[in-house]
Copies of this chain bind each other. A is one copy, B any other.
Amino acid sequence: MAYNLLKGKKGIVFGALNEQSIAWKVAERVHEEGAEIVLTNAPIALRMGTINTLAEKTGAKVISADATSLEDLENLFKETMEILGGKVDFVLHSIGMSPNVRKGLDYDALNYGYYHKTLDISAFSLHKVLSTARKMDAINEWGSVVALSYVAAQRTFAGYNDMADAKAILESIARSFGYMYGRSKHIRINTVSQSPTQTTAGSGVSGFDKLEDFSDRMSPLGNATADECADYCITLFSDLTRKVTMQNLFHDGGFSSMGMSYRAIEQYEKSFKDCP
């Protein structure tokens, strides 16, 4: 169901790889709500994924950009403004990757070059997007920026590794830049802290399935899906949430406010049962 919530708005969506991607769902939904968008991802992701299908579906152009490269980002905003005929109103940042996780290095034995890279890709990229946009004055007044995060920014999850630190600094950047960009241009910047989601990125974390199950049983409403996350992002890009900024917003079926649910402890209890 569509409401024309974003009619006349323009935006950039970072990070749609394939149809499991949250960014993919967001692109579909913003299109349904009347927005015109540009899709972007890193060259390698464009090759690996199926973004052209999405581009067709949403009538969007795809611009290749490495979000750690200021040059690429400058080109992205320049081309986007040409294609869309003006500044953008919203940006989705859905970017994260840890070479340490990929290489299976434990958190207490990180490679520091990789660590910097994790942050560069997963967090500084948000800063670079924003500072490029700021320099080029590429976001309209009262525009809205959303970056995707995870509760590991607040609480430690075994195996989430240096991505936890990346999400913590990502949320800090959203606050710090939210102040700068808010006071000068009334642009709001928030992070959405999403349930564990079966995306290519998410399901790569070891033990993902068990964690997803536990998370689902802990959450009174169950885990939030990628589609539901897209719905939520729509509200944050709309004009109805203009005074929400510098916040980390949990979209997780209640997980973040749970200590222990009956459903989860009941399952847990089964683990102690002896076989007959």
Does chain B have a CB within 8 A of A85?
no
A252 part of interface (Cβ distance < 8 Å): yes
Taking a contact as CB atoms closer than 8 A, the residue among B131, B182, B260 that contacts A220 in the complex is B182
- CB-CB < 8 A to A147: which residues of B? none
Cβ distance A137 to chain B, nearest Cβ, rounded Å: 12
A241 contacts B235, C-beta separation under 8 Å = yes
A231, B240: Cβ atoms closer than 8 Å: yes
Flag A168-203 by CB within 8 Å of B: 1 or 0 each.
Answer: 110111011111111100101000000100000000
Beta-carbon contact of A260 and B157 below 8 Å: yes
Q: Assess whether B106 is in contact with A156, with CB atoms less than 8 Å apart.
A: no
Closest to A155 in B: B259
Complex: how many Å from CA A234 to CA B240? 8
Our pick among B106, B188, B249, B259 for the contact of A151 (Cβ within 8 Å) is B259
Given A244-B251, A245-B220, A259-B157; A107-B180 close (CB under 8 Å) = yes
Per the bound structure, the CA–CA distance linking A127 and B110 in Å amounts to: 9
CA A63 – CA B263 in complex, angstroms?
Answer: 39
Give the number of times this chain occurs in the complex, counting copies: 4
Instruction: Identify which of residues 124-138 in chain A touch chain B, using a CB-to-CB cut-off of 8 Å.
Output: 124, 127-128, 130-131, 134-135
Decide if B108 touches A211 in the complex (CB within 8 Å): no
Q: Other than A162-B176, A178-B257, give 13 A-B pairs with Cβ distance below 8 A.
A: A70-B112, A108-B130, A108-B181, A116-B120, A157-B260, A164-B176, A165-B169, A175-B257, A188-B254, A210-B265, A232-B243, A247-B250, A268-B268
A–B complex contacts, Cβ < 8 Å, 28 sampled = A70-B112, A108-B130, A119-B169, A152-B259, A155-B258, A156-B175, A156-B179, A158-B179, A158-B262, A160-B259, A162-B176, A165-B169, A179-B220, A179-B258, A188-B221, A207-B265, A210-B265, A222-B243, A224-B243, A229-B243, A231-B240, A232-B241, A244-B250, A244-B251, A247-B256, A270-B271, A275-B275, A275-B276
Chain A residues close to B by CB (< 8 Å): 1, 3-5, 70, 106-110, 112, 115-116, 119-120, 124, 127-128, 130-131, 134-135, 151-162, 164-165, 168-169, 171-173, 175-183, 186, 188, 195, 207, 210-211, 214, 220-222, 224-225, 228-229, 231-232, 234-235, 238-247, 249-254, 256-263, 265, 267-271, 275-276
